[in-house]
Amino acid sequence: MKVKAGIVGATGYAGAELVRILSSHPGVELTALSSQSYGGKAFCEVYPHLYKHVLQHCRELDIPALARECDIVFTALPHGYAVPVAREVLGGGKKLVDLGADFRFKDPAVYEQWYKVGHEAPELLEQAVYGLSEINREEIKTASLVGNPGCYPTSVILGLAPLLHKRLIDTGTVVADSKSGVSGAGRGLSLGTHFSEVNENFRAYNVGVHRHTPEMEQELGAMAGTSMAISFTPHLTPMNRGILSTVYAKLNRDMTMEQVMSVYEEFYRSHYFVRLQPPGVLPQTKAVTGSNHCDVAPVVDPRTGRVVVISAIDNLVKGAAGQAVQNMNLMFGLPETTGLDRPGLYP
């Protein structure tokens, strides 16, 4: 029997990517596509690339109906809007994966400080699992509520996890520098994402105050066994998709490139979607576009005693919809790669 899936916010970029992936998932029946902006419209009218692949119409949000009809609901909404959906869905004994920020934090005060809204269901945070499959696979398998990680945190955490697991870096020296394609800003219109503002331009934004910072600190600190504060600077690049993160940290002891590679090989041996690059090969966004892969490469700089880790993901797939489907597979006992085991697009 197929898993019946509903998507709230199906016509945003992340929601549409969920529709694309789930439309060909052999274990899923797309049951409900909710959209505030396009209720009553055929989904393929909104996204013509899915013509003849997705036959459903968008419908207005009806939370009780979603909870009745679906086994799992994905919420692809701005922060602050997933709570009422989660309450109804979980109350009906169903499962939910939230692609927003509402269920990523252990401490509601941290969420409220960075997102500037009150958390309306702090009790649900106690049962929510942070949905980074490569780190929390076993917890996700038994979860009913998963907070899907942000795109930047996915790239940074997967880049640093092996080093933190082995306590090989000075946790006070971490600097993360990330570049993202414009789709990370969502489908809504804004001056900063107009073509003429973005094309042939490259800029930093939200330096030191980006909302993904505390999410990274929470998860990196949990792996390190100590509280962490990192420096994080995001940049907007003139491309549609992709995130490239360059993360710097001071090694705790002298290590060769071969020793560091061995640490990464051991950590990611059983994680299909993380591709450790061969020595001399560095990740690039085009190599992961359209795929659920995260490409990672550590580089040891013996002159400074630092390790530099490069990671690349598609922000809409491994950074959002693909990771959500990966979590769903785990939650329903399906092979983790189901519906996702495909290469990216090139060029």
Q: Is 151 an active-site residue?
A: yes
- Residue in the structure block whose two tokens are 């909302």: 211
Query: What CATH number does the domain located at 3-127 have?
Result: 3.40.50.720
Selected catalytic residue, list 44, 58, 70, 151: 151
Q: How far apart are CA 200 and CA 239, in angstroms?
A: 10
Q: Give residue 339's region: left, alpha or beta (phi > 0; psi -120 to 50).
A: left
Domain coordinates in residue numbering, the chain: 3-127, 152-315
Two tokens, residue 303: 């002159």
Torsion of CA 113, 115, 119, 120, to 10 degrees: 150
| CA 175 – CA 163 distance, rounded (Å) | 14
Going residue by residue through the chain (347 aa), what tens digit of pLDDT does each one get?
A: 899 999 999 999 999 999 999 999 999 999 999 999 999 999 999 999 999 999 999 999 999 999 999 999 999 999 999 999 999 999 999 999 999 999 999 999 999 999 999 999 999 999 999 999 999 999 999 999 999 999 999 999 999 999 999 999 999 999 999 999 999 988 887 888 889 999 999 999 999 999 999 999 999 999 999 999 999 999 999 999 999 999 999 999 999 999 999 999 999 999 999 999 998 999 999 999 999 999 999 999 999 999 999 999 999 999 999 999 999 999 999 999 999 999 999 98
Predicted model pTM: 0.97
Q: What is the CATH number of domain 152-315?
A: 3.30.360.10
Closest Cα partner for 131 from 158, 110, 169?
A: 158
Identical topology for domains 3-127 and 152-315: no
